[in-house]
A and B are shown apart, each in its own frame.
Chain A
Amino acid sequence: KNQVEQSPQSLIILEGKNCTLQCNYTVSPFSNLRWYKQDTGRGPVSLTIMTFSENTKSNGRYTATLDADTKQSSLHITASQLSDSASYICVVRENSGGYQKVTFGTGTKLQVIP
């Protein structure tokens, strides 16, 4: 069964500090991996997408990495801001032709405090 596991489950950091969120997956065959940010009670918003051949991708203060061999991804947030407080969800899509099923991770709840 395809699984996507994220760690830590929750994280509290001081404003201005950096942090790294982890995502391990067993989805196969792999198509792509997205990191989403979801504010409480709102829909997820895509931050980055990683395909098999990509190792690193940045979007402002967000940098995602992918190791397709070990099936691991990370999301690094630099110089955190209070507005970064949200849940971060790793979503992995399988490459099975037609509609490719996505598997959502359980998310990491990040709280940035002043």
Chain B
Amino acid sequence: DTEVTQTPKHLVMGMTNKKSLKCEQHMGHRAMYWYKQKAKKPPELMFVYSYEKLSINESVPSRFSPECPNSSLLNLHLHALQPEDSALYLCASSQGPGESYEQYFGPGTRLTVT
């Protein structure tokens, strides 16, 4: 299984809602990532988990809260988002956080904040 899965595929939420994005991989990877991608822009790194511990937080607003319950799962909890947070949210995983490890990306969750 060389797949990273993400749910839901699409999400529409109001600014007062609380929702969560889910990401799962069963490749035994020990590093997992959240990226945000706006239209026609490259992905921007948000968070890196290495061995289930948060190792990188790229100054992301607190309305985004990551969680890594176990080595296969990565969640992104959303609360009080703004319309400008609408984007494609990509999850990725790699065997480790080191330089030679390829990141495998999921298909993304298309988020719309109304």
Tell which of B4, B44, B108, B110 has the most Cβ of chain A within 10 Å: B108
A34, A93, A99, A102: the one contacting B50 at CB < 8 Å is A99
B42, B48, B56, B92: the one contacting A106 at CB < 8 Å is B42
Q: B21 at interface (Cβ–Cβ under 8 A)? A: no
Q: List B contacts of A41 (CB < 8 A).
A: 88, 107-108, 110
Q: A77 at interface (Cβ–Cβ under 8 A)? A: no
A66-114 residues with Cβ-Cβ distance < 8 A to B are 89, 93, 95, 98-102, 104-107, 109
Q: A99-B48, A99-B56 are in contact. Are A44 and B43 (CB under 8 A)?
A: yes
Q: A7 at interface (Cβ–Cβ under 8 A)? A: no
Cα A99 to Cα B98 with chains together (Å): 6
Give the contact-size bracket for chain A.
20 to 34
Q: B90 at interface (Cβ–Cβ under 8 A)? A: yes
> A23-49: contact bitstring with B at CB < 8 Å (1 yes, 0 no)?
000000001101010000111111001
Q: B105 at interface (Cβ–Cβ under 8 A)? A: yes
> B40-83: contact bitstring with A at CB < 8 Å (1 yes, 0 no)?
11111100101000011000000000000000000000000000
Q: Which residue of A lies closest to B31 (CB)?
A: A99
From residue B39, how far is it (CB to closest CB) to chain A in Å?
A: 10
From residue B95, how far is it (CB to closest CB) to chain A in Å?
A: 13
New A-B pairs, 8, CB < 8 Å, besides A42-B107, A107-B40: A34-B102, A41-B108, A43-B105, A44-B90, A46-B102, A100-B98, A100-B99, A109-B40
